Amino acid sequence: MLIRRLDLADMAAADQQRGFGGALLAQAKAANETLQLFTFQRNTPARRFYERHGFAIAALSDGSANEEGEPDVIYRWQSNRANRPPPPPL
């Protein structure tokens, strides 16, 4: 399974803090060696969530490139397996 896009922005408030987002991220991480996502800079709960799940800030934007015009933050996550050398030939 290759997950190209995961949108957690519309998760209902009643479904937050119940592990659903973490479970979706775990599946995305298992299927990919790197992930990148965006959230608004002012969205402190989302930023804490992504940082708690191993994402690091890759860049900050003034929001001129998104339709809301809202300053955002780009997060990246990279799997440990992405850094491993290939196995030796048999």
- Give pLDDT tens digits for 47-64: 999 999 999 999 999 999
> What CATH topology corresponds to 28-81?
Aminopeptidase (3.40.630)
**64-85, pLDDT tens digit by residue?**
988 999 999 999 999 887 566 6
At 34 the three-state DSSP class reads strand
**5-49, pLDDT tens digit by residue?**
555 556 656 666 667 778 888 888 888 889 999 999 999 988 999
Q: Name the burial class of residue 74, with classes exposed (0-12), middle (13-18) and buried (19+) by CB atoms within 10 angstroms of its CB.
A: middle
pLDDT for position 23: 87
Radius of gyration (C-alpha) of the chain in whole angstroms: 15
In the chain, where the domains are located: 28-81
The number of helix segments (H) and strand segments (E) in the chain equals 2, 3
**Alpha-carbon distances, residue 14 vs 10, 11, 18, 55 (angstroms):** 11, 8, 8, 24
